[in-house]
Amino acid sequence: MLDLILAILHHLLIFALVGLLAAELALVRPGVGSNGLKVLGGLDAGYGAVATLILAVGFARVFLGAKGSTFYLSNPVFWAKIAAFAVVGLLSIMPTIAILKWRGRAKVDAGYVVPQAEAAGVRRALWAEVAVFALIPVFAAAMARGYGL
């Protein structure tokens, strides 16, 4: 039963993360101003929280799941999945810093809008996250079926 609950939570959290990433991509545009930046700040904080929960639930699946931790920890495909997750995390640092910076500027200047070049840089990082993210379910499906053992 615990295995089932953790698997359900894992999937729901993953969908939430994808939704938050897509919403960030839709909002990060040149010209976004104070109101949009508030929403963006909330989305980004949610993204960090959901990613942390995925990590917690993921490791709970490793150590409390039905297959036992050796099944995963001894499999390089599991570690490839974790590495891809870590790269997505690293790629998300730059957008978070930029959003915090933009929000700070919008607080002191009500008419502030995000410049074209900065929005483009953050969008590149977000798309890179999407690209690396796509590898994770590939590794997940292979690892679940024992490929790599």
The answer to whether 28 touches 126, Cβ cutoff 8 Å, is yes
Residue showing tokens 């690892």: 143
Binding range to ligand HEM, per CB under 6 A, among 22-30, 113-121, 123-131, 132-140: 132-140
Q: Would you count residue 90 as binding ligand HEM (CB under 6 A)?
A: no
Q: Would you count residue 14 as binding ligand HEM (CB under 6 A)?
A: yes
Q: Would you count residue 137 as binding ligand HEM (CB under 6 A)?
A: yes
Q: Long-range contacts of range 61-67, CB-CB < 8 Å, 24 or more positions apart?
A: 61/3, 61/6, 61/7, 61/10, 64/2, 64/3, 64/6, 65/3, 65/6, 65/7, 66/3
Q: Would you count residue 129 as binding ligand HEM (CB under 6 A)?
A: no
Q: Would you count residue 17 as binding ligand HEM (CB under 6 A)?
A: yes
- Scan residues 46-85 and list those touching ligand HEM (CB under 6 A): 54-55, 58-59, 61-62, 65, 67, 72, 82, 85
Name the token pair of 90. Answer: 């690293």
Q: Which one, 32 or 132, has the nearer CB to ligand HEM? A: 132
Rounded to the nearest 5 percent, the helix, strand and coil shares of the chain are: 80, 0, 20
Binding site for ligand HEM (CB under 6 A): 10, 14, 17, 54-55, 58-59, 61-62, 65, 67, 72, 82, 85, 136-137, 140-141, 144
